Structure 1
Amino acid sequence: MDDEYGRSPLWERYGRTKVTKEAVADLANFKSNEVNFKMALWDPGVNGVRYLKTLVFNLSAGLSEANRARLRRIHNREVGNPIAVRYDGETICMDYLQAVFEVEFLAGHLDLDGSAVLEIGAGYGRTCHAIMSNHDLASYHIVDLENSIQLCRAYLGTVLEEERFARIHFHSVDEAGGVDALFRDLSFDLCINIDSFAEMNARTVRAYLDRIAVTCRHLYVNNPVGKYLDKSLDGHSQGDEVVALALSTGPLRDVIDIHDNRAVEAQSRKFVTAYRPGDGWRCVAEGRSVPWTYYWQALYRNDRGVGGWPGR
């Protein structure tokens, strides 16, 4: 063999271990195995962070100037050591990209300034952080499980200045009667649920929607349109029991191909119907929630109105 045009030591190794004569002789699956992972595609099984950072980078490159400004107004995003990229001098992670897109969607249809907001299932608080950093809210109420409340309170107390943090009120579902008292005593301009209705019992979701129907002016929902059983996505790494539990939650339990845009679009019609709180409520805006293929977002308005507005 001519050394000038021969293999490098690296490809000498790959020829023995990955791109072998036996492997390249089989065309059936080579694009999804080690042959193509060395020729054209990084192995997604071991390159998840690489792909995540690439996705974040490309989303960052496409941000509008308005969303770049929204992102810059959200200070202390580095708390918690997120997986992030640097773009135009800004440290950007997936969580806050999603939060900026959510704020953009809401601000396009609502005047958020002066609003009383309720979020059901706030996670660690990134949506609250993003909205309060971009809009002058009257109050922000968070309903969640006690352990999540503990994390959320600590995080928001760290990233927000004292004056804004003082407008946040935490309500634990583990406190007897706490949620019922919240809906009995207060009314809200906007209720938000992002990625948690789909993980609740359907009966619990219905109970929330019934209370939202009579105490809120608007509801914003951002959740999956259905379930999936594609083991190639995560190897069912948490076990069959967790898979079964996940399939049993939420109001939308149809198993679909979440990477088929037509299947997602068709299922989105069920989504819009399932999350409408009740009679007199109208969906005023909806669409796919970037970047995930099977998440949908919808904003509903209570055209009947809510009288009194206590607690503003």
Structure 2
Amino acid sequence: MEKITIEKIVKLYPKVILDIFKRNYYYYKSIIFRRKMVGNDYLNTFKLMSKDNNLQSSKHWEKLANNMKKEIIGKGLTNFKRGYCNNHFAGRYPKTVLEVSAVWQYYNNIKQRDKFNILNKISEPKIGNPYVIHINGKELMWDFLQGVDEFYNIINKFNIDLNEEIVICEIGTGYGRLANIFLQVMPKCHYVLVDLPESLFVAYYHLSKVFGNSIKKYEESRERKECPRDFFLEKKATFLLAQDFDKIKLKSVDLFINIDSFQEMTPQIVKDYFDKIIKHNGKFLYLKNSIDPGTNLIDTDNFKLEDYPKQLNMNILNTSLSAPYWNMVEQFIKLN
């Protein structure tokens, strides 16, 4: 039987039919590719997270999630720090002289405050094939510097000791960049990552590659009705879908964090999070979110800074613009 090739089809069929054939041909070829690039175990976890999710997200997030899902399923995660996922999590790679100069200035700004020598002790993990800039023989990326900056801002404002036992819950985790820094620098830190399946899966993949068996499998928290503090202390990191936030037992978390994701949620969802955080009796809350409504042009009903609950306003220790961004505000809130 004569072998059919794409070249022969070009001669036999119109371009429209050829395009359809190519899309299907490369899609089925990509099944083998993505299994190789991500691994069946990880893909099964992603399917499980997606199946479990029943939380209604904003239209803005639905668009982001669909694009991320296409990239995860179609391309795998070998290069996730160079594709759509990273453009959402961290912004684009600095290309112009001005942008590279900004990275250099940001690095020097942090270096002057780097009392624990973090910039020399740890590096951005190679997982996801990140774009890096070489400064003083060190491979750096913008997002890694953001994480170190946020780490110092948090521990300094809240007087957190590097050697103390602490449970941190981050709502909206990205790929786990801040979790990676806390877990590498603080030996007794335990991190709870809460997000929708697309982001949570990328963080799960990323941190499991960095910390191996020191993190919990998603199935461990999935199968529990309640997650007390002792459960979180068993491993470095635990992963929860956003809808399972209520599984966290009261007084199990010391510090809650949200960075650049409240504007992706509806005001009602954000209000629900605030109500739950206050109810949990944690010690601290760190917020870093955009004051620019242009970051979400899809939803008409967006969360704004003035929507913060009034009881939080009484406990704000500090509010300031984030150093590298004109449109990001950091808030440090004492809960108890």
2:182–2:189 CA contact under 8 A, matched in 1: no
2:133–2:141 CA contact under 8 A, matched in 1: yes
Shift of 1:62: 3.0
1:275 to 308, 313, 316: 308
Corresponding position of 2:203: 152
2-structure distance, mates of 1:280, 1:59: 30
Alignment partner of 1:52: what SS?
helix
Corresponding position of 1:142: 193
Corresponding position of 2:247: 181
Alignment partner of 1:117: what SS?
strand
Alignment partner of 1:143: what SS?
strand
Equivalent position amino acid for 2:95 in 1: V
Check 1:302–1:173 CA distance in 2 against 1; reply closer, same or farther (3 A cut): closer
1:56–1:84 CA contact under 8 A, matched in 2: no
1:78 to 121, 126, 129: 126
Check 1:279–1:93 CA distance in 2 against 1; reply closer, same or farther (3 A cut): closer
Q: Indicate yes or no: 2:335 matched with 1:302.
A: yes
Structure 2 gaps of 5+ residues are: 1-92, 217-234
Q: State the TM-score, normalized to the length of structure 2.
A: 0.59
2:169–2:255 CA contact under 8 A, matched in 1: yes
Corresponding position of 2:147: 99
Q: Indicate yes or no: 2:109 matched with 1:62.
A: yes
2-structure distance, mates of 1:48, 1:76: 16
1:285–1:300 CA contact under 8 A, matched in 2: yes
Alignment partner of 2:117: what SS?
helix
Corresponding position of 1:217: 283
2-structure distance, mates of 1:186, 1:146: 25
Identity over aligned pairs, percent = 22
Q: State the TM-score, normalized to the length of structure 1.
A: 0.63
Corresponding position of 2:100: 53
> Aligned ranges for residues 1-312 of structure 1 at < 5 Å?
49-50=95-96, 51-67=98-114, 69-110=117-158, 111-112=160-161, 113-160=164-211, 162-163=213-214, 166-173=235-242, 178-182=244-248, 184-185=249-250, 187-215=252-280, 216-228=282-294, 243-245=297-299, 248-249=301-302, 251-252=303-304, 271=305, 274-275=307-308, 278=311, 282-303=315-336
Alignment partner of 1:105: what SS?
helix
2-structure distance, mates of 1:282, 1:292: 24
Cα RMSD after superposing both structures: 2.6
Alignment partner of 2:315: what SS?
strand
2-structure distance, mates of 1:147, 1:280: 32
2-structure distance, mates of 1:277, 1:137: 33
Alignment partner of 1:77: what SS?
coil
Cα deviation 1:36-59 (Å, max 9, x = unaligned): xxxxxxxxxxx9622433321232
Shift of 1:161: 5.7
Shift of 1:116: 1.0
Equivalent position amino acid for 1:145 in 2: L
1:119–1:142 CA contact under 8 A, matched in 2: yes
User: Between Structure 1 and Structure 2, how many residues are aligned?
Assistant: 220
Cα deviation 1:180-215 (Å, max 9, x = unaligned): 222x45531100000011110010000000010121
Shift of 1:286: 2.2
Structure with max Cα Rg: 1
2-structure distance, mates of 1:89, 1:287: 32
Alignment partner of 1:193: what SS?
strand
Alignment partner of 1:142: what SS?
strand
Shift of 1:280: 8.7
1:281–1:301 CA contact under 8 A, matched in 2: no
2-structure distance, mates of 1:162, 1:275: 38
Check 1:106–1:72 CA distance in 2 against 1; reply closer, same or farther (3 A cut): same
Equivalent position amino acid for 1:208 in 2: Y
Shift of 1:143: 0.7
2-structure distance, mates of 1:53, 1:100: 18
Structure 1 gaps of 5+ residues are: 1-46, 230-241, 253-270, 304-312
1:53–1:84 CA contact under 8 A, matched in 2: no
Cα deviation 1:41-90 (Å, max 9, x = unaligned): xxxxxx96224333212322333344382233334533222232111111
Compare the two structures and name the one with the higher helix fraction: 2
